[in-house]
Amino acid sequence: MNIKWIETYAAIWRPNRKHLHPVQAIDKVTLDSLIGIERQKKQLVDNTVRFLRSQPANNALLWGARGTGKSSLIKELLNHYHPQCLRLVEIYKDDLYILPEIVDEIRN
């Protein structure tokens, strides 16, 4: 399945079908609604802006207990920065071995 990245902001890798599945709707979340992680929000926003400007940026690993705002933070970044071509692909950890093929699919 070819994804139209102009219209699609996120996709999930479906290993059983070996393709990317577009995410139809992303929950609306605002940075203001995420409380108690101000330093982490700033770091991730600054890093994302650098990435979008083709400046040096780091990979990001978000970890923590359930309900601490990891997914909400990513959704907010995607909602805010998709007009600047930020896109997201979700891959389960058991499927990371296939990442090079997923990157090839996205490039094509």
- Determine whether 97 is exposed, middle or buried from the number of CB atoms within 10 Å of its CB (0-12, 13-18, 19+): exposed
Residue-range domain boundaries for the chain = 10-107
Query: Amino acid identity, residue 9?
Result: Y
Q: CB of 94 within 8 A of CB of 21?
A: no
What pLDDT, on the 0 to 100 scale, is given for residue 83? Answer: 94
Question: What's the chain's average pLDDT?
Answer: 89
Average pLDDT for 10-38: 87
Give the side-chain half-sphere CA count within 13 A for 46.
Answer: 6
Query: Tokens representing 10?
Result: 């996120």
- If one compares 29 and 95, the residue with the highest pLDDT of the two is 95
- If one compares 17 and 12, the residue with the highest pLDDT of the two is 12
Please say if the pLDDT value at position 23 is more than 90: yes
